[in-house]
Amino acid sequence: MPRSLDARDPARQGAAISAAAEHLRAGGLVAFPTETVYGLGARARDAAAVARVYALKGRPPNHPLIVHLADASAMSAWAAEVPEAARRLAAAYWPGPLTVVLRARDDVPASVTGGAATVALRVPDHPVAMALLLALGEGVAAPSANRFGRVSPTSAAHVLQEFERDADLLVLDGGPCAVGLESTIVDLSSGAPRLLRPGGVGVRALIDAVGPLAGAEAGPRPPAPGDQLRHYAPDVPTRLVERAELTEVPFEVAVLARRAPPPERPVGAAPWLDLGRAPAAYARALYAALRVLEASQPSAIWIERVPDTEPWRAVVDRLQRASGDAASALQAAGAASTSATPRRQGARPEETA
């Protein structure tokens, strides 16, 4: 069982951070909270430790990691060039749920980049993550702290469940994550900025900072974390359904919805969770809810579709990937790369919350 240290209590946080920094320096792995999800971290320039991250997750070696930094000024230690667009985004949204992809310096380890010519960087907005980065004094490479392709963790308990047999892992418990979905990823490695993954910083905010975003015509996308068409997925068959289909949910099927179950749903049926109609609250609770439903061992999970509007863009992306709706996920990623989506004509107020 991994060792967990309480970093929520100010009286204990200093000792917990010091222990975690020493564990990283010794080549160990530390799971730590960010505002998005918990990360599984290693010293980014320790190739052997980074290799352990890939091995523990079961992550393919050609999938790059995000290097977490304590300050935007550290970008130049990793990027061959820091374009003006990167400086603008960093000034506007760092610390925060935004990752930028830049051309990597020649001395950046291939284990971090997945063998690509680019490197992904961000400054997290969480006091425990920032304290760890400052104590360590260097970058930490960290994907989400879960087995590859599975539902991301938003609490220390999720990490402990995921890696219950890895005694060498140290987990910093910083409480639940405030955003709950992985960071927005923007490619700045060539030409106009391009959205690679929606997240906590929306398209409109990106456009306000750097202008129009490039679309599919910009050419091949660089590899980026979380770009698999099936990802963030429970180990239970999962599908997206329309609201009308929720009137006929089989007894053994668990449900994730934006409304309460109908009164006629029988007692003893698989769980039905109502995450409400507010996109930020839904996003924050999503992964924990999927883990609860998965743990109930239903025959399947049905998820009510959410509005395909800008406030819901990151949630739409994660639900499509969790359900294996690959074509829709790819289409949504392309659409989101060019503009903010306007409110749909005739949409109900609850659908644009």
> For the segment 294-324, what is each residue's pLDDT rounded down to a tens digit?
999 999 999 999 999 999 999 999 999 999 8
**Alpha carbons 58 and 165: distance in angstroms, whole number:** 14
> For the segment 156-210, what is each residue's pLDDT rounded down to a tens digit?
999 999 999 888 999 999 999 999 999 999 999 988 899 999 999 999 999 999 9
pLDDT attached to residue 334: 52
Of 150 and 345, the structure prediction assigns the larger pLDDT to 150
> For the segment 269-296, what is each residue's pLDDT rounded down to a tens digit?
999 999 999 999 999 999 999 999 999 9
**Alpha carbons 69 and 130: distance in angstroms, whole number:** 8
Could you give the percent of the chain with pLDDT greater than 90? 82
The DSSP symbol for 146 reads S
- Kindly give, in sequence order, each residue whose CB lies less than 8 Å from that of residue 20, ignoring residues fewer than 6 positions away: 5, 30, 32, 132, 135, 170, 172
Q: Residue 221: pLDDT band by 50, 70, 90 thresholds? A: confident
Q: Residue 226: pLDDT band by 50, 70, 90 thresholds? A: low
Phi, psi for 323 (deg, rounded to 5): -95, -5
* Domains of the chain from N-terminus onward: 3-218 (3.90.870.10), 238-352 (3.40.50)
Helix (H) or strand (E) run with residue 137 in it: none
Torsion (CA) 91, 96, 97, 100 in degrees, nearest 10? 30
Could you give the percent of the chain with pLDDT greater than 70? 90
- Kindly give, in sequence order, each residue whose CB lies less than 8 Å from that of residue 246, ignoring residues fewer than 6 positions away: 255, 257, 259, 262, 302, 304
- Kindly give, in sequence order, each residue whose CB lies less than 8 Å from that of residue 144, ignoring residues fewer than 6 positions away: 37, 38, 39, 40, 152, 153, 182
**Alpha carbons 245 and 98: distance in angstroms, whole number:** 36
pLDDT attached to residue 325: 72
**Alpha carbons 334 and 337: distance in angstroms, whole number:** 5
The pLDDT of residue 217 is above 80: no
Instruction: Tell whether pTM > 0.95.
Output: no
pLDDT attached to residue 228: 67
Contact 111, 47 (CB under 8 A): yes
> For the segment 151-167, what is each residue's pLDDT rounded down to a tens digit?
999 999 999 999 998 88
**Alpha carbons 99 and 102: distance in angstroms, whole number:** 10
**What is the DSSP secondary-structure string of 65-100?**
-EEE-SSGGGGGGTBS---HHHHHHHHHH-SSSEEE
**Alpha carbons 268 and 297: distance in angstroms, whole number:** 13
The pLDDT of residue 220 is above 80: no
**Alpha carbons 140 and 40: distance in angstroms, whole number:** 9
pLDDT attached to residue 215: 74
Neighbours of 316 (CB within 10 A): 24
The pLDDT of residue 9 is above 70: yes
Neighbours of 179 (CB within 10 A): 22
Q: Helices (DSSP H) in the chain: which residue ranges?
A: 10-25, 47-57, 84-93, 110-113, 127-136, 156-162, 203-210, 279-295, 313-322, 326-336
pLDDT attached to residue 97: 98
The pLDDT of residue 66 is above 80: yes
Place of tokens 């980074």: 50
Residue 131 falls in which region: left (phi positive, over 0), alpha (psi -120 to 50) or beta: alpha
> For the segment 69-99, what is each residue's pLDDT rounded down to a tens digit?
999 999 999 999 999 999 999 999 999 999 9
Q: Residue 224: pLDDT band by 50, 70, 90 thresholds? A: confident
